Structure 1
Amino acid sequence: MSNKQFALSHFFPYQLTRLQALVSQSIAQVYQGEFDLSRQQWRVLAILATHAPINAKSIGTLADLEKMPTSRAIKGLLAQQLIIRVNSQTDKRAQLLSLSAQGDLLFKQLVPLVSQQEEALLSVLSTQEKQCLATVFEKLAKQSEKILLGDEMLIKDKERK
């Protein structure tokens, strides 16, 4: 295939990245506007609403965020008093994060709004198409994991030799 035959606009990873950006922006309108939250802060709130108490590293993993954006989001949410930090009972060096009463209230206000935005976004799909999309996402995630694991195995094999 020549360079001229390759069209980035038809390349699946590019299409997926572009779609992800558009979807994120459409949902972000809800929590950024009136509520003045960043995407990272929204993710941290959502993780804490369902997994608290939890440490910052685990939040980053669950929210698929690097260490620095996670730290900035947590710092901002602490400053707004939307989350609280407490020492772990089992590990005195560890600190756990949870939603404050104010953060819980904010999250409960946001959920119906972001859900409504999600519903508007998906309204162009039939029930069958939504089910198919969920199946496709699951299959692609599993295949990506297999490829990643395969690459890791290849790297480890090369390192042994």
Structure 2
Amino acid sequence: MCNHLSRCHAEAQPGPEKILVKLDLFSFLPFRLNRLAAEVSTALAEEYQQRYGLDIPGWRILATLGFREDACTAQFIAQCTRTHKSTISRAVNALLERELIERVENEDDRRELRLQLTPKGRALYHELVPRLKRREQEILSCLSARERDSLADALGKIERHLDLIQASHGHDDPVAVKQKASVG
């Protein structure tokens, strides 16, 4: 038995070299979300890669532009989709070559070029969306309607907590998007 309380406490506590903190990667939320996102993206990519020759960054550009009513910058798409700007740049060039998107001048600032779908790109977008929505339903078919709603709510809450920019806000200005998100 220890005579001094401080000595007993010191002996009971393992030294820094003895403390081993382990992380179960398969129960670690960031890993699980990343793995799930990769699997879902791969499952959806089957719909547009083989049939239409689109890669994931190309689809993300088409999806962002197809959802929006107005043109936007490649930088905005990179921010919204959390895709590196060089990856977006390569995908933009490929989509321009295929005449699925086009560059247009910003009416307020002629130095800035924005992207928008061409009629060919819009037709492809409208052809793909129902296929991808069906595939999404297949993926989520293991969840009840209530579980789907709960999942959407939980993901939205995490996204808001992390202050993610959403393409659905319809702004190219990240500051305006943040301000709008914090108000709503």
TM-score by length of 1: 0.83
Unpaired stretches in structure 2, ≥5 consecutive residues = 1-18, 164-184
1:6 positional shift: 2.9
Paired with 2:58 and 2:152, the residues of 1 have a C-alpha distance of 26
Asked if residue 118 in structure 1 is aligned to residue 132 in structure 2, the reply is: no
Match of 1:33 among 50, 60, 65: 50
Asked if residue 10 in structure 1 is aligned to residue 27 in structure 2, the reply is: yes
Partner SS state of residue 33, structure 1: helix
Asked if residue 83 in structure 1 is aligned to residue 101 in structure 2, the reply is: yes
Unpaired stretches in structure 1, ≥5 consecutive residues = 146-161
Change (3 A) 1:126 1:104: same
TM-score by length of 2: 0.73
Asked if residue 69 in structure 1 is aligned to residue 105 in structure 2, the reply is: no
**Identical amino acids, percent of aligned pairs:** 33
Partner SS state of residue 23, structure 1: helix
Change (3 A) 1:53 1:141: closer
The alignment covers a number of residue pairs equal to 144
Paired with 1:63 and 1:79, the residues of 2 have a C-alpha distance of 22
Paired with 1:116 and 1:23, the residues of 2 have a C-alpha distance of 13
Asked if residue 22 in structure 1 is aligned to residue 39 in structure 2, the reply is: yes
1:64 positional shift: 2.0
Match of 2:115 in 1: 97
Asked if residue 57 in structure 1 is aligned to residue 65 in structure 2, the reply is: no
Paired with 1:14 and 1:65, the residues of 2 have a C-alpha distance of 18
Rg: which structure is higher? Answer: 2
Partner SS state of residue 37, structure 1: coil
Paired with 1:128 and 1:50, the residues of 2 have a C-alpha distance of 26
Paired with 1:140 and 1:103, the residues of 2 have a C-alpha distance of 32
Moved over 6 A (4+): none
Paired with 1:132 and 1:97, the residues of 2 have a C-alpha distance of 35
1:14 positional shift: 1.1
1:103 is matched by which residue type in structure 2? G
Partner SS state of residue 114, structure 2: strand
C-alpha root-mean-square deviation of aligned residues, in Å?
Answer: 1.5
1:143 positional shift: 3.5
Question: Which moves more between the two structures, 112-121 or 59-68?
Answer: 59-68
